[in-house]
């Protein structure tokens, strides 16, 4: 059986979640009789880098047909085509979700984040666009450029672009953060299913037409037709690590990839002949999800050249997947108990309690990953109760280094907590990420991880934690 009763499911999920809370490279800084405990007391935890090899079930906020999920500014947002509340959001990396009222009761098919704004599009209704400027808490209706069946929206390089299934002009774009939209002619009158931005190029794919790809190199103002690798119903396209990858719901080869910014495409065999609906890239891994099949997830670790099947948590119709520190997928199968699933590293596990009080800190790389919004795991283990802690990032400089507070607060009555925040966007350079707390004997505990950010915003080094006691 894929699942048992809800009570058992929740029990299993909570057990998995407990191990995930501290699946980090944890260094415990402890003090015994006023001196630093030896190296044997400094416990290392393997970092949890989401890799798509195993998935955990999560309850959706409502049993709706969730079509699209995306991440931005510390929040996950999903939209649905039916239900009482057609938006849900999560502020704890997809562990729990809260229902939110949409601007209108439309069939919302796509949601995306950019420049402080969330935008969703619909295939029907009076206003077929809605936007949020408060991280998805409230939404405002916006008129679309045309009354088309808008199926996908994305943000890139200061521009919002949406594509549609029908209409006179099957592209619309906004240069004012989704407040107003202008109609743009598509390269062909196809049923455009999905649009994405990467490396200065916009790419859209369709499920019909003579050429089932179109691309724009001028921020969506004009589009050129491109031949797909095969005449399949292409459902989704994404960019990552210098490669474009698209997936289809049918065909001989249900994956195609481009290594020249979408100018030409090569067919690739999928892991299984499923109805692949969505593909995304993150942390060196490509992941796709499907609406049917034996295994409804597949992943690639060689930039989409080959794919391996992975079991989904439930046999749902999975329609959208996205990554930011964790993988999150949503389903349109309203009859199933869990319509969300998430993935973290299957090989990571928490070690035994070290038996000494201390603090812990992890900057979750790895090297090569974008440092912007990278997860930072931090917390304490039975330090001084009701004491304060502070987490900062400081530029390494001899002249007036800038100190930014990432988190601070008061530790509760048991002296222990664990949490996660994200590294802000930083200029290339070297920085100290530092966690400071208080030992039960009043000594100050400090852990510092020095990180270096390269010219394109990627981690070039992440140093081991340096402990200090004062």
List the domain range (segments joined by +) for residue 248. Answer: 56-343
**CATH number of the domain encompassing residue 458:** 2.60.40.2550
Give residue-wise pLDDT tens across range 90-118: 998 898 999 999 999 999 999 999 999 99
**How large is the average pLDDT for residues 110-128?**
97
* 233 and 110 belong to one structural domain: yes
- Answer yes or no: is pLDDT of 469 > 50: yes
Q: What is the dihedral of CA 461, 462, 463, 468, to 10 degrees?
A: 140
**How large is the average pLDDT for residues 32-49?**
32
Report the pLDDT value the prediction gives residue 353, as an integer from 0 to 100.
Answer: 34
Q: At 397, is the pLDDT very low, low, confident or very high (cuts 50, 70, 90)? A: low
* 174 and 259 belong to one structural domain: yes
* Residue 176 counted as domain residue: yes
* 372 and 407 belong to one structural domain: yes
Task: Give the angle subtended at the CA of 322 by the CAs of 320 and 326, to the nearest 5°.
Answer: 130
Report the pLDDT value the prediction gives residue 50, as an integer from 0 to 100.
Answer: 62
Report the pLDDT value the prediction gives residue 152, as an integer from 0 to 100.
Answer: 98
Task: Give the angle subtended at the CA of 123 by the CAs of 122 and 128, to the nearest 5°.
Answer: 45
* Residue 424 counted as domain residue: yes
Mean predicted lDDT score pLDDT of the chain: 85
* 185 and 117 belong to one structural domain: yes
Give residue-wise pLDDT tens across range 341-395: 998 753 333 333 333 467 888 888 777 778 888 888 888 877 888 899 999 999 9
Place of tokens 């001989």: 252
* 323 and 357 belong to one structural domain: no
Query: SS3 for 403?
Result: strand
* Residue 1 counted as domain residue: no
* 232 and 364 belong to one structural domain: no
* Residue 318 counted as domain residue: yes
Place of tokens 């852990």: 447
* 42 and 76 belong to one structural domain: no
CA distance 440 to 246: 55
Query: SS3 for 424?
Result: coil
Report the pLDDT value the prediction gives residue 249, as an integer from 0 to 100.
Answer: 97
In the chain, the percentage of residues whose pLDDT exceeds 90 is 64
* 23 and 73 belong to one structural domain: no
Structurally, the chain folds into a number of domains equal to: 2
User: Which of these three, 290, 308, 343, is where a domain ends?
Assistant: 343
Strand order in the sheet with 159-164: 150-156, 159-164, 171-174, 182-184
Whether the upstream peptide bond of residue 376 has omega within 30° of 0, thus cis, is no
Report the pLDDT value the prediction gives residue 357, as an integer from 0 to 100.
Answer: 61
Q: What is the chain's alpha carbon radius of gyration, rounded to the nearest angstrom?
A: 23
* 333 and 404 belong to one structural domain: no
Give residue-wise pLDDT tens across range 237-291: 999 999 999 999 999 999 999 999 999 999 999 999 999 999 999 878 999 999 9
Which tokens hold the place of 54? Answer: 């195993």
Query: SS3 for 39?
Result: helix
**CATH number of the domain encompassing residue 190:** 2.130.10.10
User: Which of these three, 310, 343, 376, is where a domain ends?
Assistant: 343
Report the pLDDT value the prediction gives residue 93, as an integer from 0 to 100.
Answer: 86
pLDDT, greater one: 226 or 463: 226
Report the pLDDT value the prediction gives residue 399, as an integer from 0 to 100.
Answer: 55
Report the pLDDT value the prediction gives residue 29, as an integer from 0 to 100.
Answer: 46
Report the pLDDT value the prediction gives residue 30, as an integer from 0 to 100.
Answer: 38
User: Which of these three, 300, 325, 343, is where a domain ends?
Assistant: 343
The secondary structure element, H or E, covering residue 10 is: helix 6-21
Give residue-wise pLDDT tens across range 190-223: 999 999 999 999 999 999 999 999 999 999 999 9
* Residue 303 counted as domain residue: yes
* 67 and 194 belong to one structural domain: yes
CA distance 296 to 257: 20
* Residue 326 counted as domain residue: yes
- Answer yes or no: is pLDDT of 6 > 50: no
- Answer yes or no: is pLDDT of 426 > 80: yes
Report the pLDDT value the prediction gives residue 136, as an integer from 0 to 100.
Answer: 98
Report the pLDDT value the prediction gives residue 53, as an integer from 0 to 100.
Answer: 86
* 67 and 43 belong to one structural domain: no
Report the pLDDT value the prediction gives residue 182, as an integer from 0 to 100.
Answer: 98
Alpha-carbon distance values, 397 to 139, 278, 306, 405, 432 (Å): 43, 44, 45, 17, 10
**How large is the average pLDDT for residues 167-193?**
98
Which tokens hold the place of 241? Answer: 């690590």
**How large is the average pLDDT for residues 35-52?**
39
**How large is the average pLDDT for residues 306-325?**
94
Report the pLDDT value the prediction gives residue 222, as an integer from 0 to 100.
Answer: 98
- Answer yes or no: is pLDDT of 143 > 60: yes
Q: Which of 51-55, 98-102, 150-154 has the weakest average pLDDT?
A: 51-55
* 20 and 73 belong to one structural domain: no
């Amino acid at each position: 059986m894929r699942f048992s009763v809800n009570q058992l499911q929740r029990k299993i999920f909570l057990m998995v979640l407990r191990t995930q809370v501290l699946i980090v490279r944890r260094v415990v800084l402890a003090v015994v009789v006023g001196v630093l405990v030896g190296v044997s007391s400094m416990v290392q935890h393997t970092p949890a880098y989401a890799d798509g090899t195993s998935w955990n079930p999560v309850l959706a906020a409502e049993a709706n047909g969730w079509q699209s999920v995306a991440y931005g500014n510390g929040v996950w947002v999903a939209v649905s085509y039916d239900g009482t509340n057609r938006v849900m959001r999560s502020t704890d990396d997809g562990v729990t979700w809260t229902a939110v009222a949409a601007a209108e009761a439309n069939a919302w098919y796509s949601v995306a984040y950019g420049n402080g704004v969330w935008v969703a599009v619909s295939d029907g209704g009076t206003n077929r666009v809605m936007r949020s400027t408060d991280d998805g808490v409230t939404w405002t209706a916006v008129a679309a450029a045309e009354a088309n069946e808008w199926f996908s929206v994305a943000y890139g390089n200061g521009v919002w672009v949406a594509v549609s299934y029908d209409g006179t002009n099957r592209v619309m774009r906004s240069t004012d953060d989704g407040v107003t939209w202008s109609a743009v002619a598509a390269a062909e009158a196809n049923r455009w299913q999905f649009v994405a931005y990467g490396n200065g190029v916009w790419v859209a794919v369709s499920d019909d037409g003579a050429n089932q790809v179109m691309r724009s190199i001028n921020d969506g103002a004009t589009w050129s037709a491109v031949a797909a690798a095969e005449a399949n119903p292409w459902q989704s396209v994404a960019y990552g690590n210098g490669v474009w990858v698209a997936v289809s719901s049918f065909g001989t080869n249900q994956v195609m990839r481009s290594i020249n910014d979408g100018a030409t495409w090569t067919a690739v065999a999928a892991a299984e002949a499923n109805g692949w609906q969505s593909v995304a890239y993150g942390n060196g891994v490509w992941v796709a999800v499907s609406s049917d099949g034996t295994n409804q997830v597949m992943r690639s670790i060689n930039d989409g050249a080959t794919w391996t099947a992975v079991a989904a948590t439930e046999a749902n119709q999975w329609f959208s997947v996205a990554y930011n520190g964790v993988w999150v997928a949503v389903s349109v199968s309203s009859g199933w108990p869990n319509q969300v699933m998430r993935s973290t590293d299957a090989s990571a596990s928490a070690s035994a309690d070290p038996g000494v009080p201390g603090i812990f800190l992890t900057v979750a790389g790895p090297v090569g990953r974008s440092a912007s919004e990278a997860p930072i795991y931090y917390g304490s283990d039975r330090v001084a109760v009701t004491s304060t802690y502070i987490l900062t990032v400081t530029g390494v400089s001899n002249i007036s280094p800038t100190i930014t507070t990432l988190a601070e607060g008061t530790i509760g009555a048991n002296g222990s907590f664990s949490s996660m925040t994200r590294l802000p966007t930083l200029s290339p350079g070297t920085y100290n990420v530092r966690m400071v707390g208080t030992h039960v004997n009043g000594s100050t505990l400090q852990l510092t991880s020095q990180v270096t950010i390269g010219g394109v915003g990627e981690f070039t080094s992440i140093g081991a934690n340096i402990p200090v006691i004062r």
